[in-house]
Structure 1
Amino acid sequence: MKFLSAVFLALFIGFAANAQVQNPTYDKALADSLGADDYGMKSYVLAILKTGSNTTTDKEKLNAYFRGHMENIGRLAKEGKLVVAGPLGKNDKNYRGIFILDVKTVEEAQKLVETDPAVKAKIFDVELYPWYGSAALPMYLPASEKIAKIKP
């Protein structure tokens, strides 16, 4: 009898642990507008920018590449294709920064990163990976415009 009680208790606990609860604040229209799945998530592509093979030290050329890089970031963000961008601190992997691109495939992401003058000039090399994250990620962009005191 104890054995049957233990089995029943284990089954009950396992079933209860796997039960999912509906979110009482779920907003279907918002979820649909962001492309969210049932978990509020969606697929993106993560781009890791690394030091490229171009080792030019010409300050004028470097300034032009980085100005174009920043303009391209702004354009992609305005188009809704880039939801996160930022530099990385010093590291032993020569990683320089990241992008999170709001596209479904690595091939789409590749086409977008090739529009970056610093990537074209091989100042940066890029590694691309499928990434699964919150569908609400793009919602931070409007707030970031309001909290940056100085624009790069």
Structure 2
Amino acid sequence: MKHSICSFVICLLVCTGSLASAQQANPKYDKKLADSLKADAYGMKMYYLVILKTGANTTENKTTTDSLFKGHMQNIGQLAKQGKLVVAGPMKKNDKNYRGIFILNSASMEEAAALLNTDPAIRHKLLDVEIYGWYGSAALPMYLPYHEKVEKNQ
């Protein structure tokens, strides 16, 4: 019995040592950058993925609809400037009436919902939303400054 307990303890120590050595420190790790992006130990963080869908409001006239979608585009730009919207884009026509996606850089589902409420097309139900927590690279917002350099037309 004593021998099997010793064998178990030795095995446990060997296995624990193997696991500890399997996780190596990244020589390129930048703590200041990771902290500024609120990255966890894996360089990841929680975002909120929003699927935009055709909304219930189909009664608006064209002038009103055009105005609401102009406000939608302006709101996208404003949220991006604030660092709250890190991905936005339309989807190809599909049978689920999905219109586009957002990835929001917010601290909670409630904050994400409040950010969505700043969009006139969402407030007026031209677009409906589904919101999901999404775990992705904390460095995702870092691409935004480069977008301006490849965007020929604004």
TM superposition score normalised by structure 1: 0.86
Aligned to 1:36: 39
Q: Which position in structure 1 is the counterpart of 2:120?
A: 117
Structure 1 residue 46 corresponds to structure 2 residue 49? yes
| Residue of structure 1 in register with 2:88 after alignment | 85
**TM-score normalized with structure 2 length:** 0.85
Q: Which whole-Å CA distance do the structure 2 matches of 1:100 and 1:78 have between them?
A: 14
CA–CA distance in structure 2, aligned partners of residues 91 and 43 of structure 1: 28
* Equivalences for residues 1-152 of structure 1 within 5 A: 15=18, 19-56=22-59, 58-151=61-154
Distance 2:60 2:124 in 1: 13
SS in 2 for 1:26: coil
| Number of residue equivalences | 142
Using the TM superposition, name which of 79-88 and 50-59 deviates more.
Answer: 50-59
Q: What CA RMSD, in Å, does the superposition of the two structures yield over aligned residues?
A: 2.1
**How many percent identity over aligned positions?**
63
* Distance apart, 1:58 and its partner CA: 2.2
Consecutive unaligned residues in structure 1, runs of 5 or more: 1-7
